[in-house]
């Protein structure tokens, strides 16, 4: 699960709505949970951004990435694959000096390398590839407690394997499952959460 701290299974904040327990009381997490997490996301650029940010999150808390997302978008050219694919040594140096993002050389290099792969794809190909691994809602029951939510699935393992076969980096099964959750390819809102469909 992409969001970090496991608290109680459901939490209810000031508006009286029950939410997945990882949200806690943080306003940014509440907004992200209510407006983004688990909602179907399409488009090569949007999914490339999500894939990149999930890669940057590896080993860190998701709230850190969420709070730095506006700066990430600014310095990575809105995550337009063609723009990022053209980054060179000067851009890498600029990114490594920017305290507003996660300054991890391997993750920066992977984002640029991944952008080059996406830029070589036909329009809509990344979207179709990622969504081809989406799980049907009837394959497993809605999680009742946080412990029911897996870190990986057969689908995220398959997606990771296919992306790595194509040369993508920082796309391990756990990272890809977090992408699948956040982009709505799987619905892991807990039973009783107001966002559960």
180 DSSP 8-state letter: H
Q: Is 32 a catalytic residue?
A: yes
Which is catalytic among the residues 32, 37, 49, 177? 32
Which is catalytic among the residues 22, 29, 37, 62? 62
44's enclosing H/E stretch is helix 44-57
Cα–Cα distance between 10 and 32 in angstroms, integer?
Answer: 16
Which is catalytic among the residues 37, 49, 54, 177? 54
42 marked ligand binding residue: no
Q: Is 36 a catalytic residue?
A: no
Cα–Cα distance between 111 and 12 in angstroms, integer?
Answer: 37
Cα–Cα distance between 182 and 168 in angstroms, integer?
Answer: 19
193 marked ligand binding residue: yes
Rg, C-alpha atoms of the chain:
17
Give me 33's structure tokens: 């949970």
Q: Is 131 a catalytic residue?
A: no
Give me 169's structure tokens: 């980096």
20 marked ligand binding residue: yes
194 marked ligand binding residue: no
Give catalytic residues, as residue numbers: 32, 54, 62
Q: Which residues are annotated as a binding site for Zn(2+)?
A: 20, 33, 189, 193
Q: Which residues are annotated as a binding site?
A: 20, 33, 189, 193
């Amino acid at each position: 699960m992409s969001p970090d701290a496991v608290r109680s299974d459901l939490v209810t904040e000031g508006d009286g709505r029950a939410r997945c327990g990882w949200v806690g009381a943080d306003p940014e997490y509440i907004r992200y949970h209510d407006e983004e997490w688990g909602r179907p996301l399409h488009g090569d650029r949007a999914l490339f951004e999500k894939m990149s940010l999930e890669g940057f999150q590896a080993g860190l808390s998701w709230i850190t990435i969420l709070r730095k997302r506006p700066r990430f978008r600014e310095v990575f050219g809105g995550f337009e694959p063609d723009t990022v694919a053209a980054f060179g040594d000067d851009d890498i140096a600029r990114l490594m000096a920017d305290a507003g993002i996660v300054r991890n050389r391997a993750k920066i290099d992977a984002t640029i390398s991944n952008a080059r792969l996406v830029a070589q794809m036909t329009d809509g190909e990344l979207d179709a590839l990622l969504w081809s691994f989406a799980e049907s809602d009837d394959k497993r029951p809605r999680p009742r407690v946080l412990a029911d939510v897996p870190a990986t699935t057969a689908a995220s393992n398959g997606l990771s394997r296919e992306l790595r076969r194509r040369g993508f980096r920082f796309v391990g099964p756990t990272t890809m499952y977090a992408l699948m959750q956040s982009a709505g390819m799987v619905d892991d809102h807990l039973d009783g959460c107001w966002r559960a469909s």
